[in-house]
Structure 1
């Protein structure tokens, strides 16, 4: 008599994630980060459920609810008492200009005389030197709606915008796919990576989950699944 093989039962864990930030986190529990985390835990037959709250509320919610861990943590957050994973995602803030303007931005101080639209609270995240340079700049603004940053740049109302390079690529392709906007957004750009890359980790309440996650990330990178997820959100664009 032949024995029937049974698949290992799926287990479920609950993680905290931030609110929508395409392409990293998107409505409906999708997005580059969400899909990477799901795929990593799927290696060990875990299903992941997400609770979405602003990053500023993560620790408060984590302490009050039955949560197994948090994603999108800086890799130096050892004081939280969580078991921190290896880095699994990176954000890279850059300066973007229109190529036709022939701007050559080599250092943060070069921004002082330009009209710049940065992401909200950029002066808190991009270092003391950056905060000092932009604090006295008349043409500097910070905007919560990042699509508005692109609109300002491509209509020549600012000289430069500052945002994560993957968010920029994702939003640009999305806008170019709308025919009524094609003539506005179909312009060559220059990208200047002035800022350090920020590496993010996940934090878990047990070392077992941390170990499974690290193993899963290594596995999906080795098989190419990790890169396929990234590529699926970053459609090719000649930047």
Structure 2
């Protein structure tokens, strides 16, 4: 009887351990991906569902992007959202891509500007998202290096406001972020989106390879579910999150 009691207690402890909350490190306010005031948004709901299918509850910790990796490495988080260029570094284990950012150049259609290459931004007034020069490639960095009319901001709503108020000629940001702020702008204008950049894929990073593999299994389950398409339509009003996944083929 005593042995059976010990066995049952052990099973209970294991179950509790498996269902323990996981701390998820993500960036700060970035609608429609992250909305701090309601702890919601596309990225938040997606990660919450993946972690739920892993058998855990997600507890979100919102921090500046520059602090995400150090916090994860120091043990202050179980899962972290990181860009793919870190995937080759040692010490962490990375999931399959779970989110796709699509940065574009947006101009007013009435200006009839031609932007087919980052070099076309060299002589224009441009405001981009903070850190754009770190993720948009060498051609972009070279194009704006000597542009005294170039700036970056963390306030992406302000980017859209400045474009519509004719204070800048072009803005650089994710297409879904632009659409969100365009819909909430009081004086929107017709725009042209110039697709001169590739997509930026984000992965989930882990210290524990067992958690990483569990995340990949749960992510694949989500991607194959109609829930995934409904989530995209809810926040983006279109399906634009096609992702590469080595565990999935058409």
TM-score interval, normalised by the smaller of the two chains: 0.7 to 0.9
Identify the structure with bigger relative contact order (alpha carbons < 8 Å, sequence gap 6+): 1
- 1:12 lines up with 2:21 in the alignment: yes
Q: Deviations over 1:66-100 (max 9, x none)?
A: 52221233254232412210001011111001112
Counterpart of 1:163 in structure 2 is 173
Aligned counterparts of 2:215 and 2:135: Cα–Cα separation in 1: 27
Q: Does structure 2 retain, via aligned residues, the 8 Å contact 1:75–1:199?
A: no
Worse-matched range after superposition: 81-90 or 134-143: 134-143
Q: Deviations over 1:116-172 (max 9, x none)?
A: 121223233322221222122233222231111111111122111111111111111
Counterpart of 1:3 in structure 2 is none
Aligned counterparts of 2:177 and 2:230: Cα–Cα separation in 1: 17
Aligned counterparts of 1:230 and 1:51: Cα–Cα separation in 2: 23
Q: Does structure 2 retain, via aligned residues, the 8 Å contact 1:73–1:203?
A: no
Superposition TM-score, scaled by structure 1 size: 0.84
Q: Deviations over 1:32-54 (max 9, x none)?
A: 11111111122233211111211
Superposition TM-score, scaled by structure 2 size: 0.80
Please identify runs of 4+ aligned residues in structure 1 that moved more than 3 A: 8-11, 63-66
Structure 1 gap ranges (5+) = 1-7, 176-180
Q: What is the aligned length?
A: 221
Give the superposed CA RMSD.
2.0
**Please, which of 194, 197, 204 is the counterpart of residue 195 of structure 1?**
197
